[in-house]
Amino acid sequence: MLELTVVIPVYNEEGCIKDVVISWHDTLEKLAIDFNILILNDGSTDKTISELDYFKNWPRIEIISKKNSGHGPTILQGYHQAVDQARWVFQCDGDNEIKPDAFVQFWQQRDHFDALMGIRHGRKQNLVRKTISSCSRGIVFMFSGKGVLDVNVPYRLLRCQTLKKIIQHIPPDTFAPNIIISIALSKSKARIWQCPVVHQSRKTGKVSLNSLKAFRMAFKALVQTAKCLK
């Protein structure tokens, strides 16, 4: 069994995905971890898949191209595969907004915890996304009585034994599974460690959610979370 599987969902990141994968691959090799990187191309319509072809003969990298189903379902697909092949799973996004630099500290602390979560520092958000982030924190507090500080952070190291018990109850079409996972971790009294990670605004690609869609998806996430946790 592997020590670690890194799950990276990708959608239309042709401008940075090669650099992202190389940086994670090199960081993990320096740590002498027995790892693989699972990249899930969620139906990208740009040249992302051409950029990923660069890694087709890299033994530690697995690329899955799938029909577009959204960020949340793609993460869940990656989690389900990861928990059956590794002791730990790390999820990050393919947009290069959070670098691998902080991962060393996460890995060093892992034996004492079940979940190690980033807290995005320096994140610049418009009013819509600030509102949605505040609502997400409120949802976690409402359902668990306490909260992971950055409930939907795409920078989290999870013990597979713990994660597997949680995701088996999450429907595959869930829009924001990481929020539900954050709540479940809090409710189960899992050992959670949280650490600031530097967040940089994306320099390539573009955000796929407009304001109206973002609010609609936030409401959907609330409804799905309530149904999943009732």
pLDDT in tens, 26-37: 999 999 999 999
pLDDT in tens, 193-217: 999 999 987 667 555 555 556 667 6
Q: Mean pLDDT across the stretch 91-101?
A: 95
Complete domains list, the chain, with CATH: 2-229 (3.90.550.10)
8 Å CB contact between 105 and 195: yes
3-state helix, strand, coil in the chain (%, to 5): 45, 20, 35
pLDDT in tens, 142-198: 666 566 888 889 999 999 999 999 999 999 999 889 999 998 998 888 999 999 999
d(CA 106, CA 156): 9
Averaged pLDDT of the chain: 88
| Beta-sheet pairing, 192-198 with 115-121 | parallel
Record the pTM.
Answer: 0.88
